[in-house]
Amino acid sequence: MIDSLTHLMGGFGAALTPVNLLFAAIGVLLGTAVGVLPGIGPAMAVALLLPVTYAFDPTGAFIMFAGIYFGAMFGGSTTSILLNTPGESASVMAAIEGNPMARSGRGAQALATAAIGHFVGGIVGAIGIVLLAPLIASVAVNIGAPDYFAIMVLAFVAVTGVLGSSRIRGFASLAIGLTIGLVGLDPISGQARLTFGVPQLADGIDVVIVAVGLFAVGEALWVAAHLRRTHQEVIPVGRPWLSKADVKRAWKPWARGPFIGFTFGSIPAGGAEMSTFMAYVTERRLSKHPEEFGKGAIEGVAGPESAASASSAGTLSTMLTLGLPTTAIAAVMLAAFQQFGIQPGPLLFTNEPDLVWTLIASLFIGLVLLLLLNLPLAPLWAKLLRIPRPYLYAGILFFACVGAYAVSGQAVDLLVLLGIGLVGFVMRRYGLPVLPAIIGVILGPDAELQLRRSLQIADGDVTTLFSTPLAITVYTIIAALLLYPVIRTFLKPRTRADA
Amino acid sequence: MTVVEERTREKQSRLREHSELGVSLLLFVVGVLVVVDTALESGGSSSDPIGPRTIAFVLGGALLLLSVLLAVDVLRGGHGEAEAGEDVDLGTPADLRTVGKLAGVLIATAALIPLLGWPVAGTVLFWGAAATLGSKTPARDVLIAAGVSLVTWIVFDGLLGVDLPGGPLMGVFG
């Protein structure tokens, strides 16, 4: 505890250099700008901005990432509030109450509520990381390969089975991701798998190319096929501010949101999507003005928005301590870590304490900058919504190509990028969720490694996989998740009779 | 709307409903590919009990199983929900020609990078994509495309140290 604080102070010392502050500010501005752009969600924003960070040392890069992450989350909400067509599921809740607020001339208040919500949620979430992450890491240091394998299987099942409407499609997406992850030389035996004799495939398909392909190129192609030809109405907005009455109604939701957000963000159960939804439902239930919900209730913006930022922090906490990405953005960030040769996980806190604590300190700095920059800049961000769509999507394709090319400097990679983009297109067309695929690509090879390592240690004895209490607990949870729909069908007649 | 239009629309929508079987076919083909490729490779060593092939076989099998399950689901009337978005109008049929043209632009870019370098290839990419997506101002597009491309090249190659080839045209600066 005291130890954490000392480390954190050290982190602040490292993060508060002029250069690092500049990185944080650039990250926040870039993240917000890219996040505000319609059609670009936080995951795509982080994926597209990856190449920008190649030139920096890991510390600078991750300081920038922290800013991009929170900036992109806030930017997404701005779009939802002013356009009413949320780009990603996490900002659906912001649109439900925020857009009616904007329509009735309270757009400035909606944006201010969202911005302060993100600030409060992010700060509480970052405090959560400071308090909990070292604890989780110290416990996790002792867990072995079988436990890891179990936790990764849980991540697969959770992102696939819990989210989305169709499990078959979710698992199909996961299988596609795992297959892409299989391409290349097997790290243990050196055996080539699915390379078909193509030398470029021996190193596997770079995770960055997969992420950019699925998110950016896939999205651009998908939008191109269904481009809205009519212009959408953008609600003009002034400088955000809040009256005393607004603050009085919003402060409790701001304070409640982070606890919901951090909890749901840190477990593999839907990240910001689940968090904002739960926060919204909670606020609607607790509100003194339930009749206003759906028509622009400020509580319905405040709660979900502070939950959204806190869930980002929760997601980061799990990613840093266990190396487990629970959302698409975390998956892309994990890819970024791997790009720098850093493996997040329990050992990260002992191996790279300076990096981790500087990153955590820069979360606080990034959030302060976010609030300071975004309140005055809101009218400017709103202008970004008017960018002509051909330029927007041409730009997305352009920077996707820059990112893919920068990975290894081979033009062939653009063809791989296009191929994966087409897969992303087909997935969007037929309702295959993208998240399981990207989690599969990133965690798949690692999961296989843990599985084989456990079996190597146990001399091929399969029971080793169920030999620890943690593993058994995790497999029980997995079984419950998988069997839940079956159980639910049994319960359904009864609930209907009740109603 | 005439009767003929109505009919073609109906036909199209039926075609679209069953086009999802294509996804199932895709999973099947990938599954076969994984299984065959794995079967052709040799196994692991004794120190590695399950070797490099087991997971691949399991995955291939899973792909085949999922392709069957998906086909059954589609034939029983299930369908995946197309993704909505800010700029997505699902009321219109998919404009695959635009997608094809964009793919062509990307392929052309990949071919042009080694020949002419990033600034030129990037200009072609941005301009081609903007034109494909319905921009009606070719002169302004070229200027913006060249501007974006050149600035990106200078920032990445010059300032950030990310190696992007300048090509013969940039030789004057080099």
Residue B62 forms part of a structural domain: yes
Domain contains B90? no
Predicted confidence (pLDDT) at residue A498 exceeds the cutoff of 50: no
- Binary contact (B114, A389; C-beta < 8 A): no
Burial of A3 (0-12, 13-18, 19+ CB in 10 A): exposed
Tokens of A428: 């969007």
CB contacts of A415 in chain B (<8 Å) are: 106-107, 110
How many angstroms separate the CA atoms of A115 and A87, rounded?
18
Buried b (16+ CB within 10 A) or exposed e, A8-46: beebbebbeeeebbebbbbbbbbbbbbbbbbbbbbbbbb
Residues B147 and B116 in one domain: yes
Going by C-alpha positions, the residue among A309, A306, A282 that lies closest to residue A293 is: A282
| B56 and B117 together in one domain | no
| Of A273-277, A412-416, B7-11, the least confident | B7-11
Q: Which of A3-17, A51-65, B4-18, B136-150 has the highest mean pLDDT?
A: B136-150
CB contact under 8 A, B96 and A225: yes
Q: Which two tokens stand for residue A200?
A: 């470029």
Residue of B17, B57, B65, B83 to mutate, testing the A interface (most A Cβ within 10 Å of its Cβ):
B83
Under the banding of pLDDT at 50, 70 and 90, the label for residue A123 is: very high
Tell whether B134 is covered by a domain: yes
So what's the pLDDT on residue B67? Answer: 95
| Average pLDDT for A8-24 | 87
Same domain, B65 and B16: yes
Does residue B156 sit in the same domain as residue B123? yes
Cβ proximity of A40 and A34 under 8 Å: yes
Per the CB < 8 A criterion, the answer to whether A133 and A2 are in contact is: no
Number of domain units in chain B: 2
Q: Which of A423, A37, A213, A396 is nearest to B133 (CA)?
A: A396
**B84: in domain:** no
Give Cα A271 distance to the centre of its chain. 7
Average pLDDT score, chain A: 84
Q: Mapping DSSP to helix (H, G, I), strand (E, B) and coil, where does residue A193 land? A: strand
Q: Most A CBs within 10 Å: which of B57, B102, B141, as the mutation test of the A interface?
A: B102
Of residues A38 and A317, more confidence is placed in: A317
- Of the residues B75, B110, B130, the one at which a domain ends: B75
Closest C-alpha among B117, B116, B119, B123 to residue B144: B123
Say how far apart CA B93 and CA A214 lie, in whole Å: 22
Measured between alpha carbons, how far is A17 from A34 in angstroms, rounded to an integer?
Answer: 25
Best of B88, B112, B152 to mutate (most A CBs within 10 Å, chain A): B88
Give domain status of residue B83, yes or no.
no
User: Can you read off the two tokens belonging to residue A65?
Assistant: 């990432």
Question: Which residues of B fall within a CB distance of 8 Å from A179?
Answer: 30, 34, 59, 63
d(CA A457, CA A474): 21
What ipTM was reported for this prediction? Answer: 0.88
Tell me the per-residue pLDDT of A415-474, one tens digit each, with 9 for 90 and over. 999 999 999 999 999 988 888 898 898 889 889 988 998 988 888 888 888 888 889 998
* Co-location of B111 and B54 in the same domain: no
B131 in the same domain as B66: no
Which residue range is the domain that position B20 belongs to?
3-75
Question: Residues B68, B100: one domain?
Answer: no
Which residue shows structure tokens 């990613």?
A: A319
Q: Which of B42, B75, B108 lies at the terminal end of a domain, its last residue?
A: B75
List the one residue out of A334, A314, A316, A313 whose CA is nearest residue A439.
A334
How confident is chain B (174 residues) per 10-residue block, as mean pLDDT? 58 66 93 91 69 90 95 86 79 88 95 90 94 91 93 84 77 53
Kindly state whether residues B113 and B146 are assigned to the same domain.
Answer: yes
Q: What is the pLDDT of residue B1?
A: 46
Of A55, A47, A88, A67, which is closest to residue A401 (Cα–Cα)? A47
Cα distance between residue A147 and residue A130, in whole Å = 24
Q: Is A142 helix (H, G, I), strand (E, B) or coil?
A: coil
Kindly state the DSSP code that residue A332 receives in the 8-state scheme. H
- Section A63-77 average pLDDT: 84
pLDDT, position A164: 62
How many angstroms from the chain centroid is the CA of residue A454? Answer: 30
- Residue B162 domain-assigned? yes
B103 and B138 inside one domain: yes
> Is residue B161 domain-shared with residue B121, that is, in the same domain?
yes
Distance from CA of A7 to the nearest CA of B (A): 30
The SS3 call for residue B171 is helix
Contacts with A, B 27-86, CB within 8 Å: 27, 30, 33-34, 37-38, 41-42, 44-45, 47-53, 55-56, 59, 62-63, 66-67, 69-70, 73, 78-86
> What is the SS3 assignment for A185?
strand
For residue A186, the model assigns a pLDDT of: 86
Query: Is the pLDDT reported for residue A206 higher than 70?
Result: yes
Tokens of B169: 């045209």
Tally of residues, chain A: 499
Binary contact (A431, B81; C-beta < 8 A): yes
**CA angle centred on B60, ends B57 and B63, rounded to 5°:** 150
Output A13 or A87, whichever has higher pLDDT.
Answer: A13
Q: Are A42 and A273 in contact (CB under 8 A)?
A: no
Q: How many C-beta atoms surround the C-beta of residue A485 within 10 A?
A: 10
Quote the minimal CA–CA distance from B50 to chain A in Å.
7
The answer to whether A418 contacts B164, with C-beta atoms less than 8 Å apart, is no
Decide if B140 is inside a domain.
Answer: yes
- How much is the average pLDDT of A116-141? 90
Listed residues B16, B41, B75: the one ending a domain: B75
Same domain? For B102 and B160 the reply is yes
The pLDDT of residue B27 is 95
Q: Which of A9-18, A19-28, A151-160, B122-131 has the highest mean pLDDT?
A: B122-131
First to last CA, chain B: 62
Q: Are strands A184-185 and A192-193 parallel, antiparallel or unpaired?
A: antiparallel
Give yes or no: residues B49 and B103 share one domain.
no
- Predicted local distance difference test score (pLDDT) of residue B173: 52
Q: What is the pLDDT of residues A151-180, one digit of tens each?
A: 889 888 887 866 566 888 999 999 999 999
User: Can you give the pLDDT at residue A84?
Assistant: 67
> Residue B88 pairs with which residues in a beta bridge?
A227
Residue at B80 is within a domain: no
Lowest-pLDDT choice from A205-214, A224-233, B49-58, B96-105: A224-233
